[in-house]
Amino acid sequence: MNTRIIFTIIVISLGSIAAILPKTKTSSTQLTADELLMEMKLQTYVVSTDELADLLISNDPAIMLIDVRDSVAYQQYHLPGAINIPLKDLLHPDWIPYVDQISKKNIFYSNGTTLSNEAWIVTKQLGFRNNYVLGGGLNEWFSSIISPERPASTDPNEIWALYETRKAASMYFSGSKPAAREDNSTILPPIPRKKKTRVQGGCS
């Protein structure tokens, strides 16, 4: 699915999400439709499945995986160490310290990318930082990391090197080694971002 189609789907769904956004934020933090489309084209907020696999295998403490699907889907399967914040609960006061903080690199994910992109757009429009999206979601995770396709014998060496790396990652996540941070109860909450104090008075 191309970027413009994804963007159109997200913009339509944002109509209902906009109703739950806090009214205290100023428009200076919000992006226009063109700016959002440019961000999505640049893909600077996207973390690839290969990058994520490397971060998990190295047990990088600076990332936090956030599953934005519902709790049923989360219980059926989730990535190692992920916490569950369903999209509808994203702006609940209990979760704000997680999605608006400075100590972790949040990576939203869902089955594809629609829900996670919505989560990113909402937090981006509110001026929250350190939020990213897993490119392709769980669908891409399974096809590229868990069950990578064997290249053709004529494929170049770099394709085979990537395949071997992914096969090694597949072995890691399939149980050859214990998954990192599987016990969610041990995950410490991130450090909330300090809010700037609004200066009273001045020109209107």
Please list, in sequence order, all residues whose beta carbon lies within 8 angstroms of the beta carbon of residue 75, skipping any fewer than 6 positions away. Answer: none
Confidence of residue 182 (pLDDT cuts 50, 70, 90): very low
Per-residue pLDDT at 37: 77
Neighbours of 40 (CB within 10 A): 20
Residues 38-62 have a mean pLDDT of 92
Q: How far is CA 163 from the centre of its chain?
A: 24
Residues 107-112 have a mean pLDDT of 97
Q: Are strands 63-67 and 83-84 parallel, antiparallel or unpaired?
A: parallel
Confidence of residue 189 (pLDDT cuts 50, 70, 90): low
Confidence of residue 20 (pLDDT cuts 50, 70, 90): very low
Q: What residue ranges define each of the domains in the chain, with the CATH number in brackets?
A: 3-19+28-186 (3.40.250.10)
Q: How far is CA 125 from the centre of its chain?
A: 15
Residue 142, amino acid: F
Q: Quote the DSSP letter at residue 192.
A: B
pTM here is 0.75
d(CA 155, CA 152): 5
Tokens of 161: 């090197």
| Interval 55-89: pLDDT, tens | 999 999 999 999 999 999 999 999 999 999 999 99
